[in-house]
Copies of this chain bind each other. A is one copy, B any other.
Amino acid sequence: MSNELFERHKALLDLALAATATRGAFNAWPDNPADYNDVLAAEGRQAFANYCDSYFYLDQPGVGERIGRETSPYGFELGIQYPKTNLASIMSVAQRAGEAWSKVELDTRAGVLLEILHQLNTRSFELAQATMHTTGLPFDLAFTSGGPHAQERGLEALALTYNEMKSIPAESLWERGEGAQAVRIKKTFKVVGRGISLTIGCSTQPNWSAYPGMFASLMAGNALLVKPHAHAVLPLAITVGVMRHVLKDAGFDADLVMLVVDDEVRAITQSIATRPEIKIIDYTGNPDFAAWLLDSAQGKVVHCATAAVNPVVVDGTADLPGLLKHLVHSVARAGGRTCLSPRVIFTASAGVQTPAGGVTTEEFDERLTQAFQRFTNDATAACALMGALPRHDFDARIDGAAMFGEVLVESQPLTDPMHPDGYFRSPLVVRVRPDHADSYMHEWFGPIVFLVECETIADALTRAAALTREKGAIVASLYSLDAGVCAAAEEAFGSTGATLCLNFTGEAYPGSSAAFSDFHLSGMNPSGNSTLTDSAFVAGRFRVVQTKTLL
């Protein structure tokens, strides 16, 4: 059974490995819902409806009480009750399952994990609904982020881990000297997991953020505990359910992967994270908790992805209307709730250069304002791009940001006829002075962007790079027709570790991070301490033990 799974999926693994080496474009699965069988969309909606107002089935040990208070930002309670897991009882179970799993042959493990990804892919519509109604993301983004793009990041991490482990030979013969002096030693090398790995999920991209660490840790031979954000449990609960199902089907201990659910009142993350059995932690979320984790980790491997105050620097463009539209879309996309959303737009007092001559900053600001207003005027399209917001989180934040400068574009409540009970707000644009750094050097998560006019473009680059270095950014964007400015930006952002996107317009978004191609995070600034997609991310998840026999 198990080797059969590996044979079945081996070609995909090979393609994934080739893609991680060349880092060109590769899609393991279609990311357009239209490319899937028609019936899947309806089945996904039905599956989601069945989850609501029910007990979520998960045959984990130590289940007594139930827990769960998720609310869809589209305006209803999910009413899903998850098993509330007793930590004391699952730790030893996870440990044992991990020890057994660590002894399973690499190809067999890979086969099981590839089958899990395959089965997750067939449930992408269900995962899309789950993601949409926990995060508030619009359907299309919930589909990619909860489905194929997450699965691809999982496959990428699996492939990288597999590759690292395979680079360790199973055995070697060590020979030295001749005749009576000859020494011959047979060495065997085993790659083993480290124990239990903990994934702490986030509320905005629960699957996409979690899958890399989950699949890397499992491939490396660890047991896995998944602790979703209390507001976005369902996508990871479904994932854990699929994992347990496939493991069991393939003859392995399903308790290798367990879900741990908490809520604000009974928060459990700190208790689990400090347990000695936990050897690896993957966390996506706020910087304060990441700092606590790093401080408290004491010898654990901790990978964190946190706040990103991504800058955009506008120097010049060959297509001002295209640029304006693109900026509005970048800010509005997913309601500004991705780790790649732009947060601050820097310009220079000389204005914006175009082939037809300079545009003053006043004119640029005015035209940008108009572009945002046009966008907001089509409320249905705006809601479809932005998604719904969890009201209690975003209301105060948007209104708070508005107090930090001059409001150029007000954030208005919007109504989406498709989701009359959802909470929608249009983007807020605030102009601040460059020396009011406290206002904009901060991640205002949501549909909020700051406009900062600097003296010169060099000054703008300096400030944007300082923002990245001090507060963290994953991506920086530059619009310029001047090769010297482009080179200066490459230099400035290169040293901060933010990915620089040059003159992105049309369908190319700085907010897209493609599996197998983009190194997500550099680990060089406060946005995170490692890249989700390189050998440093996976190599520490397993260990090598050796036995030497004198022959």
Contact = CB atoms under 8 A, between A and B. Distances in A.
Contacts of A174: 24-25, 514, 517
A355 interface: no
A165 B40 CA distance: 43
Given A535-B167, A536-B540, A545 B503 contact: no
A102 to B, nearest CB: 9
Given A499-B547, A546-B499, A183 B506 contact: yes
Nearest to A540: B536
Contacts of A504: 548, 550
Interface string A76-90: 000000000000000
Copies assembled: 2
A543 interface: yes
B508 A183 contact: yes
B517 A544 contact: no
Nearest to A171: B23
Interface string A161-195: 00010011100111111000101010101101010
B550 A187 contact: no
B543 A187 contact: no
Given A175-B24, A519-B189, A499 B529 contact: no
A503 B549 contact: yes
Interface stretch (A64-72, A392-400, A443-451, A489-497): A489-497
B524 A189 contact: no
A507 interface: yes
Contacts of A506: 183, 550
Contact of A298 (B295, B499, B502): B295
A160 to B, nearest CB: 10
A522 interface: yes
Interface string A188-211: 011010100000000000000000
A481 to B, nearest CB: 13
Contacts of A502: 547-550
Interface in A98-123: 99
B544 A99 contact: no
A299 interface: yes
Given A174-B517, A502-B549, A502-B550, A23 B189 contact: yes
A531 interface: yes
A523 interface: yes
27 contacts: A22-B169, A24-B175, A183-B506, A192-B494, A294-B299, A299-B529, A493-B547, A497-B543, A497-B545, A498-B545, A499-B547, A499-B548, A501-B548, A501-B550, A502-B547, A502-B548, A505-B550, A508-B550, A519-B546, A522-B543, A522-B544, A524-B543, A524-B545, A531-B544, A535-B535, A536-B540, A539-B539
Interface of A: 21-25, 99, 164, 167-169, 172-177, 181, 183, 185, 187, 189-190, 192, 194, 291, 294-295, 298-299, 490, 493-495, 497-508, 510, 514, 517-519, 522-524, 529-531, 534-536, 539-540, 543-550
Given A25-B176, A499-B548, 18 more contacts: A99-B495, A164-B535, A183-B507, A189-B519, A192-B494, A194-B524, A299-B529, A494-B545, A494-B547, A500-B546, A500-B548, A501-B548, A501-B550, A519-B544, A523-B543, A534-B539, A535-B539, A539-B539
